[in-house]
Amino acid sequence: MIKRELKLYTVKELHDVFSSGKIIIPDYQREGDIWTTSDKQYFIDSIYNNFSVPKFYIRTNGVEDKWELVEGQQRLAWAIDGFIKNKFNLRSDKSIPQEMRESFFCDLDSDAVDKILNRVVEVEMVECTREEVREMFDRLNRGRIISSAERRNGIEGDFRDSCIDLSEHKMILGKVDGSLKRFKGHEIAAQVTMLEIEEGPRNLKAKDMEIAYKAYADSSELSKHKKRVKRVLNEMYYIFKIRESYMNFSNFLTIYLFFSELIRCYTYSSKKVCFEDYNQFFDDFYIKKKEISKKMKAMEPIPAEDMDFVVYNESLSNTVNKETLETRHSILMKRFLDEFPEVKAKDTNRFFTREQKEEIHNAAGKTCEGVEGFDCPVLGEVHELGYFEYDHDEEHADGGLTTIANGRCRCPECHSYKTSQNVKSRKSGQTLMF
């Protein structure tokens, strides 16, 4: 049962408590400085002129040293605190006396300061559970201009925490073309995580994401999906050296899907296609897309070979629908694979069967086949089948098949050395990191 108690504070008293660090902004709250300067000025105007202002809601739970600001972050943390710290001035409006217009807090005379600081505001102190406070936050913000992403941030759990972490990835922070305010970065992180869970296109509307936040609130499966998201974002970060104009919200998901499938299903390596090739491909694709868009608006004839760009542009009317995502993804993949036929689908069989291992083991004389540049510690020694590890001579990621002909029998030390050398070469840019 929620316990409530209405208290009266002066602006100064409430601000003093906030400044002391006793009032904290909980993680289910909206992002920080959302209000415009005009919004903040208008609120201070209301304080000065004694107009009614909404109540503040604080969760105390009987604890004296730490309180949660459930509702009122923009008013307290950004408007009141910002004005007192001279971060913005008063409005130039007839509701403000002529001599005070456009003044900063430090410029006000003592009477004006007292009028603002001694203004009494209502604060509702509540004691409730975490579930109840999230429900309270949601109810208080129903009907307000609050984004779906901001509301989802109030759904605690593994999925939300993962999205918070992924939203800080350098690809999202540094190379997405658009504002990430109001938890937009969290929304992108949620969407790409859902694409990895599905391993392909799916509906990514607000209600779908809310379901995912709740379904994966406590999930041991989420870590593997998060790992795949990071791998794809890492690749995108290394390939796109600058913030490209086409890397906006509507195209980001399509490009992410492209690399996700490429890494998962194709021979994704710079032995096949180099960084510059990917950059040039996307530059050319989106330049052409823009050209066709202009022709469509001018109602000019479109060449038959470019009709897929018409379909692509038309699909942008709904960027988070499964069907339109599939449409854009298939067009992008087909264009790429037509241009780079050397990129082949990976062998769907990643691991050698026991029968294959036995054949490879016998063909090697039940000894380690070694690795060039490394002194095998068991060279020439005969060991049982289970002692060895069975490796692709041509890497699986580079198109190597899971066949006896491409299999090698290696001791754990030789296999580990070969793997470490591959990792080093990828980090040096010789092959992509996946």
- DSSP code, position 183: T
pLDDT of residue 271: 57
Per-residue pLDDT, averaged over 159-168, amounts to 93
Under 8 Å between Cβ of 208 and 178: no
Rounded-to-integer distance, Cα 345 and Cα 230, Å: 22
Q: How confident is the model over 255-309, as pLDDT tens digits?
A: 999 999 998 888 766 555 788 899 999 999 999 999 999 999 999 999 999 999 9
Residue type, 18: F
- Please indicate, yes or no, whether the overall pTM of this predicted structure exceeds 0.75: no
Predicted confidence band of residue 143 (pLDDT cuts 50, 70, 90) = low
Output the DSSP codes for 325-356. HHHHHHHHHHHHHHH-TT--BPPS--S--HHH
Beta bridge partners of 120: 10
pLDDT tens column, 374-418? 999 999 999 999 999 999 998 887 778 899 999 999 999 999 999
* pLDDT > 70 in the chain, percent: 94
Rg (CA), the chain: 30
The closest of 336, 326, 345, 351 to 268, measured between CA atoms, is 345
Nearest CA among 240, 117, 226, 124 for reference residue 175: 240
Task: Judge whether residue 338 has pLDDT over 60.
Answer: yes
Q: How far apart are CA 260 and CA 234, in angstroms?
A: 11
The DSSP output letter for 54 is P
- Enumerate domains of the chain plus CATH numbers: 3-146 (no CATH), 158-339 (no CATH), 354-427 (3.40.1800)
pLDDT value of residue 304: 94
Residue 421 confidence (pLDDT): 84
On the question of pLDDT at 427 being above 70, the answer is no
pLDDT value, residue 145: 54
Q: Which residue has the tokens 């993804």?
A: 329
DSSP 205-257: -HHHHHHHHHHTTT-TTHHHHHHHHHHHHHHHHHH--S--TT-SHHHHHHHHH
